Amino acid sequence: MAVFRGSTSECLAHLFSDANEDVRPILAAFTGVTLTSVQRWKAKARRPQGPIEAKVREFLTERGYEVTETPQGVIPQTAQPAARVTNGSGNTEKSAMLVSTAHAVQALIPLADYLLSDSCSEEDRKKLHEIAGANSVLRLTTRLRRLCSETARKQLKDI
């Protein structure tokens, strides 16, 4: 049975209020952040994000917490690979493709946040472009922009 069940923020709040020990230094060491960052989480002034949030969830899970939200950046095992699904037909295949694509988009958000953070340099971002090749980042951006809304999709169709 879980110590507590809830979102990452709810589990953190419970951890800080219920802990017999001062878990802040332990959590800071586990996640690789400063004690000030953990204090901000405790005060609810900030929330852990990206790879740090994943480490916080891992810390909470190891302490018996059940984090109920789907972690951003983690594609559920039940999601079928989009490449396989797009060759199929019918509503089941289309639904699976939509779910897989949605999970891929969710997975990219924390990765993009990390690449845009101070943890990565301009050189790192250039390396991403080299590895992805052939203007892949620009092509993905253009297609995602078209998916923002039907109006945007129609207006950007010729780009």
Kindly tell me the sign of the dihedral angle through the C-alpha atoms of 132, 137, 106, 53: positive
pTM > 0.75: no
- Whether residues 14 and 60 share a domain: the answer is yes
- Mean pLDDT, to the nearest integer, of 1-28? 85
Identify residue 75 by its one-letter amino acid code.
Answer: I
The parent domain of residue 114 ranges over 74-119
Number of domains in the chain: 3
Give tens-digit pLDDT for 92-150: 677 777 888 888 888 888 888 888 888 889 999 999 888 988 788 888 888 888 888 77
The two structure tokens encoding residue 11 = 């589990």
- Say if residue 58 is in the same domain as residue 40: yes
CATH number assigned to the domain comprising residue 27: 1.10.260
Same domain, 38 and 89: no
Q: Let me know whether 33 and 18 are in one domain.
A: yes
For residue range 19-60, list pLDDT tens digits in order. 667 899 999 999 999 999 999 999 988 889 888 888 898 899
